[in-house]
Amino acid sequence: MIDDEANPRMTDSNDPQRASESLRHLVSKLDSLDEQFLKLLLERAEISAQIARARRRLELPEYDPEREEQALARIEALLKSGDTRLERSSVRNIFREVQSACAVLETPISVGYLGPPGTFSHLAAREAFGLGPTYIDFSAIAPIFTAVERGQIDFGVVPFENSTEGGVTFTHDSFLTSDAKIRGEFLLDVSVCLVGHSIDLSKVERVYSHPQPIAQCRSFIGQHLAHAQVVSMPSTTAAAQQAAKDPTGVALASHLAAELHGLEILADTIQDLAVNVTRFVLLAKQDATPTGRDRTSLVFSTPDERGALLEALRVFYAAGLNLSRIESRPGREKLWEYVFFVDVDGHRADPAVAEAIDALRRVSRMVRVLGSYPQARNSAAGAEPPSLGGNSASP
């Protein structure tokens, strides 16, 4: 608590000497707090290392993302309602970076994402893990699954669905052939920017981006860039790289991509819908243990006969379970055969969910459990992941 006489706002503004002494006192207190903060940080780092060593002796994973997220939620809950001295998001970011720095002291962590650096997937990975891990960018989504399966990386971060454009085709297709599991989920507000060199929009000849941001910004393109050629790129960062080399080209990309490639923000938040959220999933060799606030993702296919899908969905209704999402995709084995991705509230270890999965296996041609994991706490725009359909999202 700062004493009133030490607070410059409470001193006599007509007494410069007293105000100067008060300021020196406050600076001294701040320096003292910084020293205490550093000592606590070092103590926390040592305890984190001890916990990692204890988990190793017990043959448990040394890094536990669920525990880290629970700790962040606890810290956020300690903030008093209406206390505006620090934004809740700022407090979360500070403690996430503390966690991140401590987590890698005993065990290096590697995280793969759809690159190159500056993509929305890169932003999502940093949002989830902080700056501590080693980040490895991949040129496509499927190799991230393979790297997780082979133990070449500890975790993978891939886009799963978008509130505007729906499910991510390449991610869904990879789940059909991979044993990688969903360990967690988190949401990222996606703000698409128009980036490039300083140029009048009427003189733009080419617009570069990944197909999904292009789809998310149809109205803006139609109103301001209808005269320009739209060029599809592998990622938003690749689009920014191309725009950096093209004096009459622009890109749809992130703030970070613009910063990395020396481009200006020509227009901000240009997506058609103001709320544009992408749901990312965390891949690992194993999914998460039950937390009491879980979600299970499945994919299944049904026989090609009347009422087969209804029979499959009925098992969830009979078990009293809520399906928060269902989406169909063409299968990989037979022409005109479809598979169905569903999210169900609960953990695969919960009796009701386990019984429903067993019943689903009896009426389906194929059932694959993609993973059980805690439902996202960092809900963008104050909402949980919605039920969505479609075919793509921002990479």
> How confident is the model over 127-149, as pLDDT tens digits?
889 989 999 999 899 999 999 99
Asked whether residue 4 is assigned to any structural domain, the reply reads no
Of 267, 292, 326, the position where a domain reaches its end is 267
- Give tens-digit pLDDT for 195-244: 999 999 999 999 999 888 999 899 999 999 999 999 999 889 999 999 99
Reported pTM: 0.78
- Give tens-digit pLDDT for 323-332: 999 999 887 7
pLDDT at 380 exceeding the cut of 60: no
CB 63 within 8 A of CB 129: no
214: domain CATH number is 3.40.190.10
DSSP state letter for 71: H
Angstrom distance (rounded) from CA 42 to CA 291:
30
Residues 184 and 204 grouped into a single domain: no
Hey, what are 317's tokens? 């209704």
Hey, what are 346's tokens? 């609960």
Residues 326 and 348 grouped into a single domain: yes
- Closest Cα to residue 349, out of 312, 294, 300? 294
Partners of 188 in the β-ladder: 278
Residues 140 and 232 grouped into a single domain: no
Asked whether residue 331 is assigned to any structural domain, the reply reads yes
149: domain CATH number is 3.30.70.260
Residues 288 and 163 grouped into a single domain: yes
Residues 240 and 376 grouped into a single domain: no
For residue 37, CA distances in Å to 31, 33, 40, 68, 103 come to 10, 6, 5, 20, 18
CB 160 within 8 A of CB 185: yes
Residues 176 and 37 grouped into a single domain: no
- Closest Cα to residue 325, out of 281, 291, 295, 356? 295
Asked whether residue 392 is assigned to any structural domain, the reply reads no
Angstrom distance (rounded) from CA 160 to CA 121:
11
Residues 118 and 99 grouped into a single domain: no
- How wide is the angle at C-alpha 98 spanned by C-alphas 286 and 120, nearest 5°? 60
Of 267, 293, 308, the position where a domain reaches its end is 267
Residues 167 and 208 grouped into a single domain: no
Q: How many residues does the chain have?
A: 395
Of 71, 103, 135, the position where a domain reaches its end is 103
Residues 237 and 185 grouped into a single domain: no
Domain range for 300 is: 110-190+277-382
Least confident of 40-54, 145-159, 351-365: 40-54
Domain count, the chain: 3
Asked whether residue 12 is assigned to any structural domain, the reply reads no
pLDDT at 389 exceeding the cut of 70: no
Residues 233 and 353 grouped into a single domain: no
